Amino acid sequence: MDIKSIIGKKRENKEISKEEIEYFVKAYTEGEIPDYQAAALIMAICINGMTEQEILDLTVAMANSGNKVDLSEIDDIVVDKHSTGGVGDKVTIVLMPIIASLGIPVAKMSGRGLGFTGGTVDKLEAIPGYRTNVSVEEFVENVKNVGISLIGQTENIAPADKKIYALRDAINCTKSIPLIASSIMSKKIALGANKLVLDITVGNGAFMKTKQEAERLAKCMKLIGQKAGIETVCVLTNMEEPLGINVGNTLEIKEAIEALKNNMQEDLREVVYALGAQMIKLAGRGEDVNQNIAMMEETLQSGKAYQKFLELITNQDGDISFLHDTQKLGEAKYVIPVLSEKDGVVEQIDAELVGSISVYVGAGRVKKEDEIDMLAGIVLNKKRGQEVKTGEPLAYVHTNDESKVKGAVENLKQAFKITDKKVKKASTVLGIIK
Ligand code: URA
């Protein structure tokens, strides 16, 4: 098999065979194909797309690139959740302890930042001591012991996805239905979950900019789920503005902790409840969505969800004194307000731009080997629909890099659109595809 001819075929938008896909995935994972040739093929896929058969073959090849986990020793039903990515998306960190506190086992493997979107693993690593790099054996043990484990992608679970994911980030090939669908579903197949709720984000701060695109992605992932025996429910959620108010790793951990103490931003709460209600349903613990939401409210209000979060963090060696007193997590050296230049109402916040500025000030990677600045990011002082006066802060830039301050502040100003008209509330949940 010859990688140059496979690249050539895809460049000319021809279908590549199962054998060619399997060869590429195996040889790239084993280091026999260099990054530059893999990058060429991934770019061609990103531009030309893939047929359904190619997507299925790519997903299975990536799932088979490493070990498979058997979660059946935890429970007959294991419900997983994954998001297609967003800005300010700390849903996993808030939702999973809520679900675990209801006695539903949570075994979740998350990713790092991708493009302008953040990643749960980077965020969790903002908690001193917390280990995301955990073996599969320990992962399963942790779920058995405390009912929950959140970890990063281990070397031997879909290692092909791990390499391709980092490469896509570095070459700006994140927005692609076949690549997103195969990336997510290969991990789910390898991980052995049999029920899955997908948060398909839609809008300016998501990879899918329109509801139609999001529906296509949902259909594609449901098809893979069906072939792989994973019952999959897709919840389409609005990502027209960042979710919640904090964007950046430590900043999002701080917001997630507040949320688990039942002090949650309204849009974040809506997404958490919509996904959680479906997870509880798939786990066979409640058919009625409203009752499921009431269960989640109770576990938050009683402090059980926060308690479960503390157990999770302690069990993976995180220092919970930083959760009790989040000021200990620290703050960036420069915290600069971005002031409104007029009176009015916030009509729009360009979430992709906010995400990109957050990466620029240090919260994400530009090259795959870049270190991230845990304290960097953006804090929104105003959300869509809120009134603002001239000179009032719209947002704050947090960074340790003085050279980035001026550019970030100027650009962030552009992210806000202020109007003098009334702004209608946008719905957070745009649809559920069962
Ligand atoms: N999450 C993933 O795991 N992969 C993607 O491609 C996007 C979001």
Residue 183 CA, closest ligand 1 atom number: 4
Residues with catalytic annotation? 82, 161, 168, 183, 187
Closest CA to 397 of 407, 387, 386, 384: 407
Q: What is the CATH number of domain 332-419?
A: 3.90.1170.30
**Atom 1, ligand 1: which residue's CA is nearest?**
84
Please give all residues whose beta carbon lies within 6 A of any atom in ligand 1, as ranges.
84-85, 111, 114, 165, 179-180, 183-184
Q: What DSSP string runs through 139-165?
A: HHHHHHHHSEEEEE--TTSSHHHHHHH
| Tens digit of each residue's pLDDT, the chain (434 residues) | 899 999 999 999 999 999 999 999 999 999 999 999 999 999 999 999 999 999 999 999 999 999 998 888 888 888 999 999 999 999 999 999 999 999 999 999 998 888 888 899 999 999 999 999 999 999 999 999 999 999 998 879 999 999 999 999 889 999 999 999 999 999 999 998 899 999 999 999 999 999 999 999 999 999 999 999 999 999 999 999 999 999 999 999 999 999 999 999 999 999 999 999 999 999 999 999 999 999 999 999 999 999 999 999 999 999 999 999 999 999 999 999 999 999 999 999 999 999 999 999 999 988 777 889 999 999 999 999 999 999 999 999 999 999 999 999 999 999 999 999 999 988 899 999 99
**Å from CA of 407 to ligand 1 middle:** 29
CA distance 377 to 254: 12
The DSSP secondary-structure symbol of 265 reads: -
Q: Rounded to 5 degrees, what are φ and ψ at 367?
A: -110, 155
Structural domain boundaries in the chain: 3-49, 79-324, 332-419
**Is there a common fold for 3-49 and 79-324?**
no
CA distance 252 to 277: 23
**Atom 6, ligand 1: which residue's CA is nearest?**
180
What is the pTM for the complete model shown?
0.94
Q: What is the pLDDT of residue 118?
A: 85
Tokens, residue 394: 């719209």
What CATH class is the domain 79-324? alpha beta
Q: What is the mean pLDDT of the chain?
A: 96
Strands laid side by side in the 429-433 sheet:
79-83, 195-202, 231-238, 429-433
CA distance 258 to 300: 11
* β pairing state of 393-399 and 377-380: antiparallel
Tokens, residue 114: 């991708």
**Atom 3, ligand 1: which residue's CA is nearest?**
184
Q: What is the CATH number of domain 3-49?
A: 1.20.970.10
Residue 84 CA, closest ligand 1 atom number: 8
Q: What is the pLDDT of residue 3?
A: 97
Tokens, residue 221: 């992932």
CA distance 88 to 206: 11
Q: Each residue of 324-362: pLDDT tens digit?
A: 999 999 999 999 999 999 999 999 999 999 999 999 999
CA distance 313 to 323: 9
